[in-house]
Amino acid sequence: MNAARTRIAILLGALLSSLPLACGSQVDFELERDTPVVLIIIDTLRADHMGVYDYELDNTPVLSEFAKTAYQFDANSTQCNSTFPSITSIMTGLYPKTHRNYVPVPLEGTTVANTGTQSWAERMKSVDYHALAAVSHPVWTSEDVNTAVRRSWDEFSTIPAELPRSERNELDHAGFTNERGFALLDGYEKNFGDKPLFLWMHYFDPHTEYAPPVGYRDRYLEHHLKQAGLEDFLPALTKRDPKQRKVWISTKAPKDKVEALRLANGRALYDEEILYCDYEIGRLFDRLREMDVYDDALIVVMADHGENMEPAEWGHGRINFTHQRLYEGVAATPLLIRLPGQAEGIRITQLTQNIDVLPTVMELLNLPAGSPVEGRSLVSLMREPQQKLHERVYIEASDNVEKAIKTDEIKFIDPGVEDALAEVYRWRQDKEESEDLVGSLDEEVVGEFTQWMGDFRIRDCLRIRIEPAKEPYSIDMTMQVLDTTIDRVLGLDKGIVSEDGHSLRFQGQVTETLEAYVFMAKRESTIIWELETSLPGAGHEHVFLGRLPISSSAAIPVFSATESEGHAQPVLDISSRSDGFDFELQVDPAQLTEFEFRLKDRLELRRMEWGGGTGFEQTYFDDGRMGDVGTKTKLKLQSTGVERPTAKLDVQGDPESVIFLLRSDGQWPDFERVRLNGKAVETTRLQFVLPAPPDGRILSAMFTGPEENPPPGAIQIWLESGAGPVGIDGSSLDPELAEQLRALGYLR
């Protein structure tokens, strides 16, 4: 390893420089190819709550010492306000709008592989680095292989997937991350010490729910209580653990003090989590010193995104202790980079962003360019800290709706919602972003930001590809959009758009691959699909959202009756009164343990009754109240011994809008065993709905693009761009997973 020679070269460069290091040095920034690289990503860490970034509390003593010999970037921004999109950006150097992984966690079937770009690990492996990762997100598992975050690591350690989810949440602390990371380093020293090291450590600690270890609690509680004038509550809170404190505050504290106590307690726990994580990073540094790696390594410390800590009365709504929206508490993240042997710290105030880090490391190591990135190397800025690298940087929300632009002085937040005004702040002076300038800025300035944002956003292009089979076959396909219109269609010469623009129909023979590009006037729309082909055996197994079979996706099948007799022993039996508004459901509990029942469209569920015991339990309504307009309910079967439990629903609305949309156990039920008014349901003509707002799993599956080797007769539907809102609908997730995601703040 030539790291020692690298260190000597850097020191000589500093001695020979005519300018001191802090003013821009003549250091040779081309490091040896075998320089160890250590990447540390701390989850949910906002820069201004760190002692190293001049916070009022000294909660980062290790990183403050580290910064004395590192580059510290004071105006750095994340690319996204959720973990998986942000880390995908770090690992690829791409904006989320390009890599398209918007779902906050890599749920099965939703992740985009990004096979067209090299990930950070792939780049390091290409020059023979040994790549190790220890990540601490409790939802991530080692099985999520085909993503840019996960690919190409020699070893990728996660919290063991076989543990119950509740136990996984208890093991997301930095001590256990280090335990697993140190084991990886032991193996590296023993078996691969002749290879250069690339190590990624991901610490989850400052993420909700905040639970610093016992030895770190109550370090800052008194401070935050005093700031709020609530020090009298110190004895009541210190004798309780974090979960008990939340309960006590909400049930025992005076009502006029609840919100202030909640904020003070949450801030204290958050700061204590940072202190504990800082200590464990110190242990990592000690381990690297024991290996004689620390001084020779290129070390990067950064965060995926921050966290809101501000009270609702500041005007941003009650979003504290979440990473919703794109205010500076979420957007402004730390970035520290230490070169091998660096002896002096340098603070840089120019704009930087997380996607700059990958190209920076590539340039420092003089590695091949590989696939293009959208970030820019920071090396020129490290050489001359006063120069400007970026005119503007962009930040995106994981809902793929709200986006922001930052220039040196102005921050422009575009909510991405029709008729909603942008927000504009002077972010350097107005740290709290309390003075919205949108009404006082020159129209020309606002127009310029609006144009930049328009150029940054990309428009939906819905793609449809129909594959041929061994023999020609006919197809009849209708796509109906309820909340918007179809602007234009390219391809599908025989495709006809209705006069009102609400539907597209294609009928014809398939003898070769057919493709359509569909542009809609608005991003968000409920889409009802009807498909019928003459292909023998063709059914839902031939339809794909992106690369995911439609029956495994979160799309919802629509059931309509035929004239044929239904199955004698149906899994699901639906009957209705003649006018279509009293429904009775019967379920075979041996076949269906859980199903979702929806009524489409604009229907009012007036009453629900349980029959045959307590075999059903209502678990979800759109707004939690019966009697209001709500088009969705989920019924969950309970194991009460009832042979065929029943439920009765009284619905009021337009008879023509009654359509049954059902999912069972997260999958489509067997159509052959569903009965509607004693009749079999349609199987030759496939109907399904992509609802709006869509479940993020639907959009993410569509973002993955088409299957490279689809089966004959396949019909593939995907999005050419990353436009459109994204969110997770927890109503059809595994209940245990949904509860875990809810505890982490991903579901509300």
The CATH number of 561-681 is 2.60.40
The two three-digit tokens of residue 595, written as one number = 């199903």
Sheet holding 556-559, edge to edge: 496-497, 503-510, 473-481, 527-533, 685-690, 556-559, 660-664, 594-599, 632-637, 616-621
Q: Which residue is associated with the tokens 């019924």?
A: 635
* Spatial CB neighbours of 490, under 8 Å, sequence gap ≥ 6: 516, 517
The C-alpha atoms of residue 656 and residue 261 are separated, in whole angstroms, by 52
Superfamily of domain 29-214+289-389: Alkaline Phosphatase, subunit A (3.40.720.10)
DSSP 205: T
- Cis before residue 693, ω within 30 degrees of 0? yes
List the one residue out of 47, 11, 43, 39 whose CA is nearest residue 26.
11
User: For residues 304 and 86, is the Cβ–Cβ distance under 8 A?
Assistant: yes
* Spatial CB neighbours of 430, under 8 Å, sequence gap ≥ 6: none
Q: For the whole model, what pTM was predicted?
A: 0.68
Per-residue model confidence (pLDDT) at position 573 = 79
Report how far apart, in Å, the C-alpha atoms of 446 and of each of 125, 405, 430, 742 are: 45, 12, 18, 37
Q: Which residue is associated with the tokens 């004689």?
A: 292
The three-state secondary structure class of 113 is coil
Query: Average pLDDT for consecutive 10-residue bins of the chain (748 residues)?
Result: 38 33 52 94 96 96 97 97 92 88 68 76 94 90 72 91 81 93 96 96 92 92 95 92 91 92 94 97 98 96 94 80 91 97 94 97 88 92 93 90 93 85 92 88 87 80 90 92 82 80 91 87 79 78 87 80 81 69 69 59 52 51 35 49 61 53 65 83 81 70 82 88 54 66 66
Per-residue model confidence (pLDDT) at position 472 = 93
The C-alpha atoms of residue 277 and residue 62 are separated, in whole angstroms, by 10
